[in-house]
Structure 1
Amino acid sequence: MTTEFSIRDVVVIGGGLSGLTAAHALKLRGIDTLILEKENDVGMPWARRHPQLTLNTHRDLSSLPGLKYPVGTGAFPKRDSVVAHLRDFREKHGFDIQCGVEVFSCRKVDGHFVIETNAGIRRSRHLIVASGRDAFVCMPKWKGLDTFKGRVVHAADFGDAMDYTGKSVLVIGGGNSGFDVLNHLSRVKTGQVWLSLRRPPGLLPKRLGRFAVHRLSPIMAKLPTSYVDKLIGWTQQIAFGDLTRYGFPAGPSDAATRLARDNIAIAVDDGAIAGVKRGQILVVPEVVAFSGTTVTLADRRTLEPDVVIAAVGYSSSLTRVLGPLGVVGENGSQSGVVELDKSTVEGLWFVGMKPSLTSYFVEARREAKSIAFSVAAMLANERSTKQ
């Protein structure tokens, strides 16, 4: 039996940091807002991640509007601190959140959105998508992967780093999640660890001396992208020296360009490079095939890891959810060159779907403020027209 509900001013898909930030900006303007969260509680995607998980963004740039972390929280908040922060924010503002509600698809009928969920149909005048970029893990179809006798996991299922004690591990991918895994493995007495790379990573140290490098990100965000590319390259050189000496591929310093153009987040080193320099982690070429107990690399070398960790990214749920609206390409990204907080469909908005130099928290606040201003103006105009 289908359950119908009255038309809300705004429905937000996703009750994570972006959805909560959007709801807060709308609440400040007195706008009726409903949040639909597929999990049974706020913060569950964070709570399921490995226990060592720590933000790469500084505490001062990683908080929700008007709420600070408790005294004693580290400069880079840990998993449980982030979960508590999200839940404290929810309790403080009393948002209308329906948990356990998964959105299947959205379409627009007679000027409003019809949102099909596992709990019936919801309707709204405006729809904000804040479901994140990592709804599903990506696992490439490497040749012979199904024949591999070792363990293969995605970085999302990394688990406790101590479980890798004494084991040889191949990490495929030098992005943000790849270096997160390597940072934690570098603190464990593993067997040999290999890092498979196709291209040089965009990489920054978490600290230079005692200074948290991320605190400079608001300044860097105001500079031209080409300048930031150079600054990141210089910082890499100062922090790590010539990484090609350790097998890293040579290539241009274009981390900021790739962030802006391809939405590829900049990785952060917090121990991995030290592991490389002492030989715990060896950098190797791209993986081309699996067979039995072996993994073949692009240079025809073979490895026999106990565990393979695929740190090869995630995909969003946009294709499935927004397909009927015709604004999403085959790869899960929006079709056409459009801003993520705007859309070719009037009343459809996006928050938190794009990484930035600062943090998802800072970017979500900027996007949410802009959207709330626009939504308030549109609703006021609609109501004045009807009078």
Structure 2
Amino acid sequence: MGGTDAVVAGAGPAGLATAAMLKRAGLSTTILERSDAVGSSWRARYDGLRLNTIRWSSSLPGYRMERKYGRWPTRDEWVGYLERYADRHGLDVRFGTELRRVERSGEGWRLQTSNGSLDAGFAVVAIGHDHDPKIPQWSGLDSFTGELMHAASYRNPAPFAGKDVLIVGPGNTGSELAYKILRGGAGRVRASMRGAPNVIKREVLGLPLYALVGIANNRAPVAVSDFGGRLLQRAVFGDLSKYGVPRAPMGVATSIRDRRVAPLFDDGFVDALKRGEIQILPVIERFDGPDVVLAGGERIQPDVVIACTGYDHGLEPIVGHLGVLDDQGSPRVRDGKDDPRTPGLRFTGYSPRLAGQLCMFKYEARRIARAARRDLA
């Protein structure tokens, strides 16, 4: 496959932004993408999805999103923007090429792919944190006679009309799916919750309050962000413990920093909970034929179980041997910053933020481009 100044793995928003800034810095740059189109993970998201980040803060460097998309762009509008972004910057994307392993090669890197190897002086991994859907290995799962699916397979609420649906993990995705399925005519919607989430309202009195506060809090001390987040949650939602949602054990900023768990962005879920239309249940203990057995022994028989249980980053086989991952399989050094153990290898797109990740990609991309230009000079 030859060689190039820089290689970026992943043609999602983080990878596209980084490649554009590397090219602007005068470096020959190649993007490796395992699918056949840019933004492939976004294309696979469910119908009706809108960004949780404001349009103007979501734009990638060098090309603003059009105002016609409004405050919260849809999935299709976002995908169209990514396509135009790649075209506008003339990015070299090698589709159908999956990164499989990164190795040291002299002062640079050798990237083993599904189509051979590629040498580069600088390498960036941006394959995304939602890489491989993950379903817990519950006891008795093989005996379950109902339908089990991961949230990654959900497209729209139509197949669930009239059905008894159990959502497992009502975090950001789970809460939104629960509400959409409820509105789509499901017979019953319940949610099994393991941990208490921080809850943020998408809009308050027509204002994107969480987004504005989140952007401001990117530079605020963690304790200040935690305190402000608790005040805001209490003022907007009141006490949710009476509805089965206890107070989160840690503040929103601490949760993002220590657990890399973003808050639940509410867009109707909490109101449905308060009206009794969605019920919170204990965690799943095991499966037993048609039954889902909950902690405490209660048995229920949902028609469908939707696991909103997250994703594996898929980084272990690629860079695990380099000692750059923590015990959760995430990069130890993120945000496009330098890891002294692996100079010239950077990761971008792996840090959740209160204001959302998209607004940070421009900064990470520029940081990486500056470092690459300096290192390869």
TM-score (normalizing by structure 1): 0.93
Q: Secondary structure at the match of 2:253?
A: helix
Q: Distance in 1 between matches of 2:327 and 2:155?
A: 31
* 2:367 matched residue in structure 1: 370
Identity of matched residues, %:
33
Shift of 1:281: 0.5
Q: Distance in 1 between matches of 2:107 and 2:47?
A: 45
Q: Secondary structure at the match of 1:207?
A: coil
The answer to whether the 8 A contact 1:115-1:121 is kept is yes
Shift of 1:249: 2.7
* 1:114 matched residue in structure 2: 110
Q: Which residue of the other structure, out of 237, 241, 246, is the alignment partner of 2:243?
A: 246
2:182 paired with 1:172: no
The answer to whether the 8 A contact 1:259-1:265 is kept is yes
Deviates more, 1:173-182 or 1:54-63: 173-182
CA separation of 1:265/1:247 partners in 2, compared to 1, >3 Å: closer, same or farther?
A: same
2:34 paired with 1:58: no
* 1:231 matched residue in structure 2: 228
Aligned AA (1:22) = T
Q: Distance in 2 between matches of 1:75 and 1:186?
A: 25
Aligned AA (1:206) = R
The answer to whether the 8 A contact 1:186-1:271 is kept is no
Shift of 1:251: 4.2
Q: Secondary structure at the match of 1:288?
A: strand
2:278 paired with 1:269: no
* 2:197 matched residue in structure 1: 201
**Which portions of structure 1, spanning 4 or more consecutive aligned residues, are displaced by more than 3 angstroms?**
250-253, 337-340
Q: Which runs of 5+ in 2 are unaligned?
A: none
Aligned residues: 375
Q: Secondary structure at the match of 2:48?
A: coil
CA separation of 1:352/1:89 partners in 2, compared to 1, >3 Å: closer, same or farther?
A: same
Aligned AA (1:10) = A
Aligned AA (1:14) = G
Shift of 1:112: 2.0
The answer to whether the 8 A contact 1:61-1:358 is kept is no
Q: Which residue of the other structure, out of 332, 356, 360, is the alignment partner of 1:359?
A: 356
Deviations 1:318-359 (A, max 9, x none): 101113433234532235x77652222111011111111223
Q: Secondary structure at the match of 2:306?
A: strand
CA separation of 1:252/1:329 partners in 2, compared to 1, >3 Å: closer, same or farther?
A: closer
Q: Distance in 2 between matches of 1:330 and 1:247?
A: 31
* 1:217 matched residue in structure 2: 214
Deviations 1:54-105 (A, max 9, x none): 1111112111123233343131111101100100101111111111111111
Q: Secondary structure at the match of 1:216?
A: helix
Q: Distance in 1 between matches of 2:342 and 2:248?
A: 40
Q: Distance in 2 between matches of 1:132 and 1:341?
A: 16
The answer to whether the 8 A contact 1:61-1:359 is kept is no
Q: Distance in 2 between matches of 1:52 and 1:333?
A: 29
Q: Which runs of 5+ in 1 are unaligned?
A: 381-387
Superposed CA RMSD: 1.6
Aligned AA (2:93) = I
Shift of 1:312: 0.9
Shift of 1:276: 0.8
* 1:383 matched residue in structure 2: none
Aligned AA (2:292) = V
Shift of 1:32: 1.2
* 2:152 matched residue in structure 1: 156
TM-score (normalizing by structure 2): 0.95
Shift of 1:231: 1.6
Q: Which residue of the other structure, out of 90, 103, 122, is the alignment partner of 1:94?
A: 90
Aligned AA (1:70) = E
Q: Which residue of the other structure, out of 272, 278, 281, is the alignment partner of 2:278?
A: 281
The answer to whether the 8 A contact 2:144-2:290 is kept is yes
Shift of 1:363: 1.5
The answer to whether the 8 A contact 1:230-1:253 is kept is no
**What are the residue-to-residue correspondences of 1:338-357 with 2, within 5 Å?**
341-343=337-339, 344-357=341-354
Shift of 1:253: 4.6
**What are the residue-to-residue correspondences of 1:23-102 with 2, within 5 Å?**
23-102=19-98
Deviates more, 1:80-89 or 1:299-308: 299-308
CA separation of 1:128/1:247 partners in 2, compared to 1, >3 Å: closer, same or farther?
A: same
CA separation of 1:291/1:340 partners in 2, compared to 1, >3 Å: closer, same or farther?
A: farther
Q: Distance in 2 between matches of 1:187 and 1:66?
A: 39
* 1:297 matched residue in structure 2: 294
Deviations 1:192-227 (A, max 9, x none): 211111221111011112111213221122211112
2:114 paired with 1:125: no
Aligned AA (1:182) = A
Q: Distance in 2 between matches of 1:338 and 1:97?
A: 23
